[in-house]
């Protein structure tokens, strides 16, 4: 076949035809060492390199990308492991609490100490008077007050994160010298709405709707199961005292 005939035949093949053939025949370059050495490709440096050099370069780029992804995954795994340990410590303290104030104090200490946040609040909704005075992170309000101040924030089942309105932040974290700017809130439910568990940061952008809230769900699920019995215990104690005194 003459050189002209080869050129005419090659001219009938499009770039797509060649690419499709090579995809269908990935072993085409086996035993084609001379051809590989003769093929050149442009490089970022401006000089032409062989196909083999280009392939090695691509493999190195892929290796570096995979290495970075692996380092990131290991970092995330370590972060999650630390988060799990902190959550476990907090849950053990909550389970061992003897009353509502101890429960709220354990939550407050852990959230501000272990988790490095600025505030925690355990807000209970009830019209019945409790025989204990709420202290620290524990706050007791009526369901009507909660609905008036928090409204739609109480309708969901999952954590709600964001900056919230100023009136909502002040209701969740009253009597603070440094105002809370960003909040994550989880409703506490056990057949009915018992209250809310909220954590706050003075940094406006700390909590947003895209952030994960798995550890908040763990804590809120535990609180939702413990609170009914804890509240019942608080209500029973005065009756028992009256019986003993009589």
The 10s digit of each residue's pLDDT in 191-243 is 888 899 999 999 888 887 655 677 788 888 888 888 888 877 765 444 444 44
Q: Which of 45, 79, 96 is the last residue of a domain?
A: 96
Cα 121 from Cα 134, distance rounded (Å):
11
Specify if 4 maps to a domain.
no
Structural domain containing residue 210: 99-245
Instruction: Give the CATH number of the domain where residue 154 resides.
Output: 3.30.450.40
CA 177 to each of CA 118, 142, 168, 225: distance values in angstroms, whole numbers, following the listed order: 12, 25, 16, 33
91 and 140 belong to one structural domain:
no
124 and 235 belong to one structural domain:
yes
pLDDT at position 232 is 76
Neighbouring C-beta atoms of residue 7, cutoff 10 Å: 9
Specify if 12 maps to a domain.
no
How many domains are there within the chain? 2
74 and 125 belong to one structural domain:
no
123 and 202 belong to one structural domain:
yes
What pTM was estimated for this model as a whole? Answer: 0.64
């Amino acid at each position: 076949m003459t050189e002209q005939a080869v050129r005419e035949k090659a001219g009938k093949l499009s770039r797509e035809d060649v690419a499709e053939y090579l995809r269908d025949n990935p072993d085409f370059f086996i035993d084609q060492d001379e051809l590989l050495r003769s093929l050149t490709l442009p490089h970022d440096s401006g000089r032409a390199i062989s196909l083999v050099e280009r392939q090695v370069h691509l493999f190195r780029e892929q290796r570096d990308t995979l290495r970075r992804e692996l380092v990131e995954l290991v970092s995330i795994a370590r972060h999650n492991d630390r988060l799990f340990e902190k959550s476990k410590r907090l849950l053990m303290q909550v389970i061992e609490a003897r009353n509502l104030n101890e429960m709220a104090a354990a939550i407050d200490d852990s959230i501000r100490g272990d988790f490095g946040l600025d505030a925690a609040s355990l807000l209970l909704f009830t019209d019945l008077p409790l025989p204990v005075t709420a202290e620290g992170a524990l706050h007791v309000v009526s369901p009507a007050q909660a609905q008036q101040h928090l409204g739609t924030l109480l309708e969901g089942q999952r954590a709600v994160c964001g900056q919230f309105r100023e009136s909502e932040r002040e209701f969740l974290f009253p009597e603070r010298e440094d105002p809370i700017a960003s909040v994550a809130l989880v409703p506490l439910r056990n057949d009915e709405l018992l209250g809310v568990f909220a954590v706050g940061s003075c940094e406006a952008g700390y909590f947003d709707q895209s952030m994960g809230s798995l550890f908040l769900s763990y804590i809120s699920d535990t609180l939702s199961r413990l609170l009914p019995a804890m509240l019942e215990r608080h209500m029973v104690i005065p009756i028992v005292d009256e019986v003993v005194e009589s």
